[in-house]
Structure 1
Amino acid sequence: MKKIDVVTLGCSKNLVDSERLIGQFKAGGFTVAHDAEKPQGDIAIINTCGFIGDAKEESIETILSFAEAKKRGQVKKLFVMGCLSERYEKQLKEELPEVDAIYGKFDWKKIVEDLGQTYRADLINERSLTTPGHYAYFKISEGCNRSCSYCAIPLITGKHQSKPIEQLVQEAEGLAAKGVKELQVIAQDLSFYGLDIYKQMRLAELTQKIADVRGVEWVRLHYAYPAGFPYNLLKVMNGHPNVCNYLDIALQHVSDPMLKIMRRNVSKSDTYKLIERMRKDVPGIHLRTTMITGHPGETEQDFKEMLDFVKEMRFERLGVFPYSHEEDTHAYRNYKDEIPEEVKQERANAIMEVQEKISLEINQAKVGKELKVIIDRKEKDYYVGRTEFDSPEVDPEVLIPVEGNALKVGEFHTIKITGAEAFDLFGEAVNG
């Protein structure tokens, strides 16, 4: 049995895990397909997500669909790994007898050895990229030391563990040598980077070092934490043209009562000062954030404060999650999930309605400008690309007609923006 299907669910951090595992399999002579529409292999490995209710449901449904494929003889063996099985291993073994083996999030060595090959520790930086070859997700740490009331991630991944700067620079050099031009730097908590192994925040230094790697044209930062934010990072962002003026920082709420209940260790005043400083020190920065509606204790006044905050701050990118009551979290143990689901969703919809108008106005302000764009793919009649202000899959894309524009996928082009919608831009190549 030398053919494997790997299916990745959840976040980009899971995707990096799958890529590393696929690298191990290929080194052992396996043929591997990732996220194939139909099972093609002898063994299927589902890398699950267990973050919130919807993600857990998707993971279970995917496992069940592959269990049916196994019954039909399309798959011989079914393995499950990742966050869901790390958190619910016992329950999954009891309720899903069709699954041949269940592994935790970090049981790669056991998975590899159970398939009859030797785990290669020397391949620590080797990955089989599942993204287009010109960009890669770049995970700099595991785990989280925060204690946010609603979040189950520390229960799954454990304490924060930074990867050494030297190892990460080597990984960046290896990716650049393979043609990767854009690094999507990710972690559960970027802000904490370095504190555990260097006893001080080293995110700014790390960012500078990977930005200096030859061939890396864009470095984009995802998932910073507002409390204890490393302000020296802003100087690096402003001083290095290949560090994108983009930061994903999850704020979650803004009213002081809710920030306290949510154990965010930051105040409303702190939040305003942080955003003001970011926009002052990095002119033109595009901020992506997320909000949570319906956390236990959220009143109409708390929600109104959040809605007014979104209107006032005019975030370039914003998403909303209705609160999910996750077992064993602080909120689960100490509060009742008493806000009706429809109210949570109504509040989320109200925020997104405001954000859609803001996004449209921000995009319309780009019309007429010439921007550097990376072309991700060709899709029907359009080339599809992104500016430095846009992360893959979650942010606006730039659509350029194929007719009259000779562009190359994986390359940077100067694009003049000719039109805008709330979540997409339209353009044409300059001298293209």
Structure 2
Amino acid sequence: MKMYMISLGCAKNQVDSEMIVGFMQQDKENILVDNPEDADLLMVNTCAFIESAREEAINTILDLASYKKRDSKLVVLGCLSQRYKDELIDELPEVDLFISIKDYDRIAELLNGLFNKTIFSSTSHLSHLRRTYKTPPYMRYIRISDGCLNRCAFCAIPLIRGLLKSRTIEDIKSEVKQAVDEGVYEINLISQDTTKYGWDLYKKLALVDLLKELVSIEGNFKIRLLYLYPDIVTDELIDFIKNNPKVMPYFDIPLQHSEDKILKLMKRRGMRDFLVELIAKIRKEIPNAIFRTTMIVGFPQETEEDVDSLIEFMKETKFDRLGAFTYSPEEGTLGATYDGQIAEDVKQERYNRVMEAQFYISLEQNRKQIGRILDVMIEDYDDESYMYTGRSYGFAPDDIDGAIYVAAKEELKPGDVCKVKILDADSYTLTGEQIEKN
């Protein structure tokens, strides 16, 4: 069978897609194709986090439906199926099967039923150790848990993904060792709340315990932590990152806002003073730390004064990278029930103000990198500048944070790591020269 898969949304969704395709490809007759016109089975793994993600999912489904042949099937998986399956069955007759996240353990049974014959082994199951990777061979996403124990007023993820479900330390270590043995240099640990890892399994915060096991693996690799909830970025975690060079000093801490009134409405823990102190403490302990965060603007009852204060907070804390979203009221969340909903044009204006302020903050922070010598992992060659592009520890994958342009002394290939002296900077990129050959 020829299969075609589109994966939308976050890296956690991508991991699901890689496991699903890896499961299907246990039978060598099932192959992944690059062109939907060639596929017998068309699949979309969807995101439903906010309204714009749902719109993208619907548009992608309809686009793929145009490639259906007489005997081909269109299957929709992921968060959209999990949350809106019953409504979508009537609204999207082009779709032959919706598979909810909770039904992934029945995926063979459901697909065999769709085609009315045995195509996939029903005795096997999805496995993190058996994935068909879409990431480059030098980097990988490793999901350490799924679901979330937080109940933020803006977020529907717990309604979609459920409560926290951590993988065992042994299982994760096996996957990371497999990746390192295959030559992977950059390990990105992901979850909905990475800092809460292990709370369900071990009845304690077990992220440091996990990291101790991972850094004991032999090999040349680095670990990046993504999605750290601020109130449990513990002193123990900060100290471990400070003293373990295999863990990148990259702090991805989504704050969502700075103002106590809004944070309380959002049901977030950790108020403004705590957040300022946390960032200052990390910078004192790890002066070369890079910080990233996300903010939500236009949350119910937010005022212009709140946005002014948010921008002042940004100027005080100086996050190296910051992304923002306009608030999207999600069905079933507390925030959608609040009075004081904000008009869309006002949300957009506030978003523009926040991102304009961050443009200059990122520029200031990036200019501090001039003169530094960084280990840069090469990813591509830019034909326009005649330079290679890559990332250091301060740049997360998938174009989230930008890139480093490198004038090389030799021909390089993706995955090569070289020392680069930074010579110039703008808000989203650094430029430097390779100072020694590999």
* Pairwise TM-score range, normalised by the shorter structure: over 0.9
Gap change, CA 1:49 and 1:355, over 3 Å in 2? same
Q: Tell me the equivalent position of 1:384.
A: 389
**Does 272-281 or 96-105 show the bigger shift?**
272-281
SS at match of 1:220: strand
Give me the whole-angstrom Cα distance separating, in 1, the residues matched to 2:429 and 2:274: 32
Give me the whole-angstrom Cα distance separating, in 2, the residues matched to 1:89 and 1:377: 40
For 1:258-284, what per-residue CA distance to the aligned partner results, in whole angstroms no more than 9, with x for missing partners?
A: 111010022112212221222122221
Superposition pairs of residues 26-65 of structure 1, within 5 angstroms: 26-33=25-32, 36=34, 38-65=36-63
Give me the whole-angstrom Cα distance separating, in 2, the residues matched to 1:182 and 1:20: 19
Q: Which amino acid aligns with 2:350?
A: R
Give me the whole-angstrom Cα distance separating, in 2, the residues matched to 1:74 and 1:356: 51
Q: Which amino acid aligns with 2:238?
A: L
Give me the whole-angstrom Cα distance separating, in 2, the residues matched to 1:191 and 1:143: 13
Q: Tell me the equivalent position of 1:287.
A: 291
For 1:227-271, what per-residue CA distance to the aligned partner results, in whole angstroms no more than 9, with x for missing partners?
A: 233331111101111210101111001111111101002211221
Give me the whole-angstrom Cα distance separating, in 2, the residues matched to 1:356 and 1:196: 40
Q: Which amino acid aligns with 2:47?
A: C
Q: Tell me the equivalent position of 2:90.
A: 94
Q: Which amino acid aligns with 1:420?
A: A
Gap change, CA 1:128 and 1:268, over 3 Å in 2? same
- Alignment of 1:82 with 2:68, yes or no, is no
Give me the whole-angstrom Cα distance separating, in 1, the residues matched to 2:435 and 2:71: 50
Gap change, CA 1:174 and 1:141, over 3 Å in 2? same
Gap change, CA 1:84 and 1:122, over 3 Å in 2? closer
Q: CA deviation at 1:31?
A: 4.1
Structure 2 unaligned residues grouped into runs of 5+: 113-118
**Does 302-311 or 3-12 show the bigger shift?**
302-311
Q: CA deviation at 1:122?
A: 8.2
Q: Tell me the equivalent position of 1:104.
A: 100
Q: Tell me the equivalent position of 2:115.
A: none
For 1:87-144, what per-residue CA distance to the aligned partner results, in whole angstroms no more than 9, with x for missing partners?
A: 0000111101110100012433322332421142484422111100000001100000
Q: CA deviation at 1:399?
A: 1.6
Gap change, CA 1:282 and 1:260, over 3 Å in 2? same
Give me the whole-angstrom Cα distance separating, in 1, the residues matched to 2:92 and 2:138: 39
Q: Tell me the equivalent position of 1:398.
A: 404
Superposition pairs of residues 273-422 of structure 1, within 5 angstroms: 273-332=277-336, 334-336=337-339, 338-380=341-383, 381-392=386-397, 393-401=399-407, 404-422=409-427
Give me the whole-angstrom Cα distance separating, in 2, the residues matched to 1:365 and 1:121: 49
Superposition pairs of residues 226-241 of structure 1, within 5 angstroms: 226-241=230-245
Q: Tell me the equivalent position of 1:158.
A: 162
**Does 273-282 or 261-270 show the bigger shift?**
273-282
| Contact 1:145/1:154 (<8 A) preserved | yes
Q: CA deviation at 1:342?
A: 1.2
- Give the number of equivalent residue pairs: 426
| Contact 1:407/1:413 (<8 A) preserved | no
TM-score, length-normalised on structure 1? 0.94
Q: CA deviation at 1:419?
A: 2.0
- Alignment of 1:258 with 2:262, yes or no, is yes
For 1:376-398, what per-residue CA distance to the aligned partner results, in whole angstroms no more than 9, with x for missing partners?
A: 22343332210111101201211
SS at match of 1:107: helix
Q: CA deviation at 1:222?
A: 0.4
Q: CA deviation at 1:337?
A: 6.1
| Contact 1:4/1:30 (<8 A) preserved | no
Q: Which amino acid aligns with 1:370?
A: I
SS at match of 1:7: strand
Give me the whole-angstrom Cα distance separating, in 2, the residues matched to 1:220 and 1:6: 27
**Does 220-229 or 52-61 show the bigger shift?**
220-229
Gap change, CA 1:68 and 1:337, over 3 Å in 2? farther
Give me the whole-angstrom Cα distance separating, in 1, the residues matched to 2:102 and 2:179: 23
Q: CA deviation at 1:30?
A: 4.4
| Contact 2:19/2:126 (<8 A) preserved | no
| Contact 1:180/1:215 (<8 A) preserved | no
For 1:166-198, what per-residue CA distance to the aligned partner results, in whole angstroms no more than 9, with x for missing partners?
A: 110011111111111110111100111111110
Q: CA deviation at 1:40?
A: 3.2
Q: Tell me the equivalent position of 1:198.
A: 202
Gap change, CA 1:319 and 1:174, over 3 Å in 2? same
Q: Tell me the equivalent position of 2:226.
A: 222
Q: CA deviation at 1:357?
A: 0.9
| Contact 1:415/1:430 (<8 A) preserved | yes
TM-score, length-normalised on structure 2? 0.93
Gap change, CA 1:276 and 1:30, over 3 Å in 2? farther
**Does 119-128 or 141-150 show the bigger shift?**
119-128
* Match 2:248 to one of 244, 248, 271: 244
| Contact 2:43/2:74 (<8 A) preserved | yes
SS at match of 2:313: helix
Give me the whole-angstrom Cα distance separating, in 2, the residues matched to 1:145 and 1:39: 42
Give me the whole-angstrom Cα distance separating, in 2, the residues matched to 1:189 and 1:123: 21
Q: Which amino acid aligns with 1:14?
A: N
Give me the whole-angstrom Cα distance separating, in 1, the residues matched to 2:363 and 2:35: 34
SS at match of 2:323: strand
SS at match of 2:376: strand
**Does 373-382 or 214-223 show the bigger shift?**
373-382
Q: Which runs of 4+ in 1 moved over 3 A?
A: 30-34, 36-40, 121-124
For 1:344-391, what per-residue CA distance to the aligned partner results, in whole angstroms no more than 9, with x for missing partners?
A: 111111111111111112222222322100112234333221011110
Give me the whole-angstrom Cα distance separating, in 2, the residues matched to 1:253 and 1:122: 37
- Alignment of 1:188 with 2:188, yes or no, is no
Aligned-residue sequence identity (percent) comes to: 38
